[in-house]
Chain A
Amino acid sequence: MREKLNWFHVAILTYMIQLDVTLFSLPRIIAEKLGTNGWIGVLLLSLVGILNIFLYSLVHRMGKGASFFDIVEASLPKFMIYPLYLALALFYIYVGSILGKSFIIIFQIMAFPTTNSMFLFLLYCYMMYCMLIKDIYSISKAVTVFFFVTFWLGGLTFYYFSEWEIVRLTPFLFKGATEEISLNSWTDIYTIFVGCELCLYLFPYASRDGKWFKGVYIGHIFITLVYVYVIIVSSGFFSFHQLKAMSYPIIDSLAFIELPFINRVENLVFAFFMFSNVTSSVIYGFASLSAMKRIFPRMRKNVLEFVIAGITFGFGFTAQILRETDKHVSDAMFVETILAFSIPLLLIVLLLIQRLRLQKGSERA
C-alpha cells in the first residue's frame, strides 16, 4: 500500500523548492531591476509561472500521467536519449549544487568567514544525501516539517511594523531601476519562480487524475504572496535607494530585531533557511536521480544517491567566492528557465506526434 502525494504536500514542495537563498536579496534585486513598486512586476511574472505550470498540467493530461521519461522513450531511440538524460541529470545536480554553495558563501558573510566553505558544504551535501536516499514520500514529509519549522519566522515581520511607512513605497511604477528595464531584467527576475517545473518528476508518484496540480498552483501562488509580502515589508521599512545599496536587505532587517532574550537573530534565521535551500537542492537531486535511474536501472541501493551527492559536492569547487556563485546562480537559473518552458513544449509535440501515429496506425488497421 503506497500512499500518493496529495495536493497539500505537493503545494508545500512547490513552495519550498522555489523558496531559496534568493529571498534574502530579493527586495534589492527587484529594486535594481524594476525600480519602485516592483512587487507588481512580481505579480505579473507569477502569471507567467502559472502559464508554465499550465503547460505541465497539459502534458500530464495529454500523456495521461505518463512520466517524462516514458513519453520521451516512446518517441526517441535510446542512443539519443541517454546522453540527453545524462546531460539533464548533470545540469540538475549543478543547479542544486550551486544553490547550496551560494547559501554557504552568504552564510559565511555572517559567521565562519575563515572556515573553508567546502567543509560547510560537505555537511550540506550530507544532509542532501540523507534526504535523497529516502523515497519521495519521506522527502515530502521532511519538507512539510521544514515548512512548519521555517514558516513561523514570517511572524518576525511584525517587529518592523512600527518603522514601516507607506510613503516609502512611492506611487511610481517601475521607476529608478539601475538600468533601463528590458526583457533581460524581466527574465532575470523570473528566475525566482524557477523550481515549479520540477513537478514534472512527480508525475509517477501522484494520482493520475491530476487533482494534485491544484497543489502546484497553490504552492506557486503562495510563494508569490510570500515574495510580494517580503518586498512590500522591506520597501516600507527601508528607503528605496537604501534598498538598492544593500546586498541582502532581509539579513539587514533581521539584524535590526532585538528580542528580550536574544538579539541579532539574523544568523539563526538565515540558518533556518538552509532547510528550504536544501529542499531545492534535494528536489533537483531527485530529478537527476530519476534520470540516472533510467540509465542505470539496476544500480545497488544508495549508490546513485551517493554519486549525486558526491557530484554536488564536486560542483561546489567551481564557485568559491561570492562573485562566482552569483554569476553561476544567475547563469544556471537562466538555462533552467529556458528548460522549464522548452521541456513541456517538446513533450507536447512528442505527444501530438505519438497521437497522430496512433491514429494512423488504427486507420491502417
Chain B
Amino acid sequence: MIARIALVLVLLLLTGCGDQRILEELGFARSVAYDTIPDQESDGRIQISATIPKANQQEKIFFTTIARTSKEARIKFSKENNRRIVSGQMRSVLFGIDLAKKGLWDHIDTLIRDPQVSANVHVILVEGSGGDLLKKEYKPYPQVGEYIDELIKTEARATAIPDSRLYDFSRDYYDDGADPVAPILKSTGAKIKVVGIGLFRDDRYVTRIPTDQFMFIAFLRGDFRSGDITMRIPETKQHHENVMLSSMVNKRTIHVTRNHPVRDGHDIQVDIEMEISGSLLEYTGQLKLQRSSDQIKLETIMNKYIKQETERVLKSMQKHRVDSIGLGQYVRNKLSYEEWKNLDWNKAFADVRISVHPHIKIKDYGKLQE
C-alpha cells in the first residue's frame, strides 16, 4: 500500500510543474483596452493596452502595443515584463467607440473562449482612447483598474447603468430578441465619468443614451430594487418643479398584442407596465404633500412625465433599430416559431407600437409633515 502511494507520488512529482502559476510570478492584467489606430494603414491591427497593479498597491504598470489580437498582445507584454501576464484576474475590458462602431465580436469571442477570463469582466466603451484612459494617473485612485471596477459596480448597484459583464453582453448578443448595451466612460481631468450608455445592434455600437436618461432605460429594462431619480417636471413654460424619488422599487411587466398574421412590426403592439414605488425626498412644487389627494395628483404628474420620457427613449431606440431592452424576447414568445423566424426583428422593431404605462406610488414623503 505504502509502496503504491509512493509510486504514484513519485510519478506526480515529475509532472504538474509546467502548469504552475505561482502568485508572485504573475502579472495580473486588471483592465485591457482595445483601440483603433489612427493610422490608415492599420492592416487589421489594433492598439492594445493593459494595466497591471504592482504588489505595493500604489503603482501600476502600463503596457501598450499594436497587435492583431489580444493574445498576441499578451505574448508581447510578457516579453516586456519580468512576470507572466495572465488574464484570470481581469475586471474590465475597454473598447474605444471607434472600434466599437466596427463591431466587437471578434474581441469578445476570444475573451469568452479563454477559460481564464471570468464571465464577470465588465465590457465598457470609452469616449476617446481606452489606452489613454488607462495610462492617465488619477490621484486619489492609484489603481485605475480598481477605480473603473468600483465605479461601474456602484453605479450598476444603484441601477444607474445596466450590467454589462461579458455574460450579459454575450447573452444579449446571441439572443435574437435583445441587443447588448455597455456604459461609456470618459476621462476628464483627474476623474473618470460615466457619460452615457452605448447601445449596440448585434456587436456594433450604434447610438448612446445620455446621462440624464439613464433612469428611463432602467425602468424599461426590468425590475430593480433600488434606484433614485430626480425629475424636472415643467409646470408652466418657465417654471419647473423638482421631484426626487429615492429607494425606488420597480416592477415591469410587458404585454404583447398582435394581429394575425404578423407580417412586420406594424402588427405588434407592446404595452409596458411599470409599477414604481419610492420615497419622496425632494419636492419644490405647490402641492401640499400631506394631503393624500395632492399625493395622487403628484403621482399623476409624475406618471405623465415618465411616460413621456421613456417613450422618447424608446423612439430613439426605434429610430436606430436597437432593441436594448429585450422587447424581442417577449414578442417572440407571442409569435409562432415560423413567424418569428421570418421576422427580421431589428427591422420590425422600428415599427412596433409601444406604449408605456407607469404607475408611481409615493410610499412616503420623508420625515417632514409639510
Does A touch B (CB under 8 Å) in the complex?
Answer: yes
Tell whether, in the assembled complex, residue A167 and residue B333 are in contact, meaning their CB atoms are under 8 Å apart: yes
Q: Identify the stretch in B65-73, B168-176, B190-198, B294-302 within 8 Å (CB) of chain A at 4 or more residues.
A: B168-176
Cα separation A175 to B335 with both chains bound (whole Å): 13
Instruction: Judge if A69 is at the interface, Cβ distance under 8 Å.
Output: no
Q: CB of A358 within 8 A of chain B?
A: no
Indicate if the CB atoms of A122 and B8 lie closer than 8 Å.
yes
Q: Shortest beta-carbon distance, A230 to chain B, in Å?
A: 17
Chief secondary structure at chain B's binding surface = helix
Q: A-B contact count, CB below 8 Å?
A: 71
Which residues on A sit within 8 Å (CB–CB) of B173? Answer: 242
B234 contacts the other chain (CB 8 A): no
Determine whether A149 belongs to the interface, using a CB cutoff of 8 Å to chain B. no
Question: Which residue of chain A has the shortest Cβ distance to B170 in the bound complex?
Answer: A242
B171 in complex: contacting residue of A116, A119, A238, CB < 8 Å = A238
* Contact indicator per residue, chain A 311-334, by CB within 8 Å of chain B (1) or not (0): 000000000000000000000000
| Closest CB in chain B relative to A240 CB, distance in Å | 7
Which of chain A's residues has its CB closest to B225's CB?
A162
Question: In the complex, what distance in Å separates the CA atom of A186 from the CA atom of B18?
Answer: 42
Q: Which residues from B are CB-within-8-Å of A238?
A: 171, 174
**Which A residues are CB-close (under 8 A) to B171?**
238-239, 242
Chain B positions 291 through 332: 1 when the CB is less than 8 Å from some CB of chain A, otherwise 0 = 000000000000000000000000000000000001001101
* Neighbouring B residues of A256 by C-beta, 8 Å: 118-120, 167
Q: How far is the CB of B136 from chain A (nearest CB, A)?
A: 28
Is B88's beta carbon under 8 Å from chain A?
yes
Instruction: Across the interface, name the chain B residue whose C-beta is closest to A255.
Output: B119
Number of B residues, CB within 8 Å of A? 29
Q: Which of under 10, 10 to 19, 20 to 34, or 35 or more describes the interface residues of A?
A: 35 or more
CB of B12 within 8 Å of the partner chain: yes
Flag if A168 contacts B118 (CB, 8 Å). Answer: no
Task: Give every chain A residue within 8 A of B174 (Cβ-Cβ).
Answer: 238-242, 245
User: With A167-B330, A170-B332, A241-B176 as given contacts, are A114 and B19 in contact (CB-CB < 8 Å)?
Assistant: yes
- A123–B8 CB distance below 8 A: yes
Residues of A within 8 A of B18 (CB): 114-115
A126 at the B interface (CB under 8 A)? yes
A73 on interface, CB distance cutoff 8 Å: no
Q: Find B115's partner among A109, A115, A116, A242 (CB 8 Å cutoff).
A: A109
Would you mind naming 15 contact pairs between A and B with Cβ atoms under 8 Å apart? A112-B19, A115-B15, A116-B15, A119-B12, A119-B15, A119-B16, A123-B12, A168-B175, A168-B329, A170-B333, A175-B337, A241-B176, A245-B174, A255-B118, A255-B119
Per CB-CB distance, the 10 closest pairs between chain A and chain B, nearest first, are A239-B175, A242-B174, A241-B174, A175-B337, A167-B329, A256-B119, A119-B15, A112-B19, A114-B18, A172-B337
Mark B residues whose CB is within 8 Å of A.
4, 8, 11-12, 14-16, 18-19, 88, 115, 118-120, 167, 170-176, 178, 326, 329-330, 332-333, 337
